[in-house]
Structure 1
Amino acid sequence: MNADDLQLLVTCTMPYGKYKGRLIADLPGNYLTWVARQGFPPGRLGQLLALMHELDHNGLASLLKPLRQQ
């Protein structure tokens, strides 16, 4: 994880599925847990979803708040 990854969570949107168009940082925790159980997709999207799942699961999503204000 690096600062660029955190910035991408508040700028990249989900490209498909039920939450298409929603920021990765705004995906509900239960959806992130479901994706984790199914297996994260390959590539950059999977990495970002895994990172967001970890932040959400550990109660650290508030770390993204300052990045949203930029």
Structure 2
Amino acid sequence: MLPDKQFLIDLAHTKMPFGKYKDRYLIDLPEYYLTWYHNKGFPKGKLGDMLAQVYEIKINGLEGMIRNIRELS
């Protein structure tokens, strides 16, 4: 299932709320960090959904799409 438009806009503007990468946009998190979460299990809730989507976006080389959304919205 594809995420809806508002989810992608929210994802483009969401920053990591804790940890080593606190205050970094989710799309700017390093791929190894997202892979670690993918292997460990993403957190429950909206943040986990967003991290899982960012993981998929990054492994498919689509980060530019999210950065463009952030710039345009």
Q: TM-score, normalised by structure 1?
A: 0.90
How large is the Cα RMSD of the aligned pairs?
1.1
Aligned to 1:3: 5
3-state SS of 1:69 partner: helix
What is the CA distance between 1:49 and its match in structure 2? 0.2
Q: Report how many aligned residue pairs link the two structures.
A: 70
**Residue of structure 1 equivalent to 2:25:** 23
Q: Which residue of 1 aligns with 2:38?
A: 36
Q: CA deviation at 1:65?
A: 3.0
**Unaligned 5+ runs, structure 1:** none
Where does structure 1 differ by over 2 angstroms across 4 or more consecutive aligned residues?
A: none
Deviation at 1:33?
0.6
| Cα distance in 2 between the residues matched to 1:65 and 1:19 | 18
Gaps of 5+ in 2: none
In structure 1, give the amino acid aligned to 2:57. Answer: L
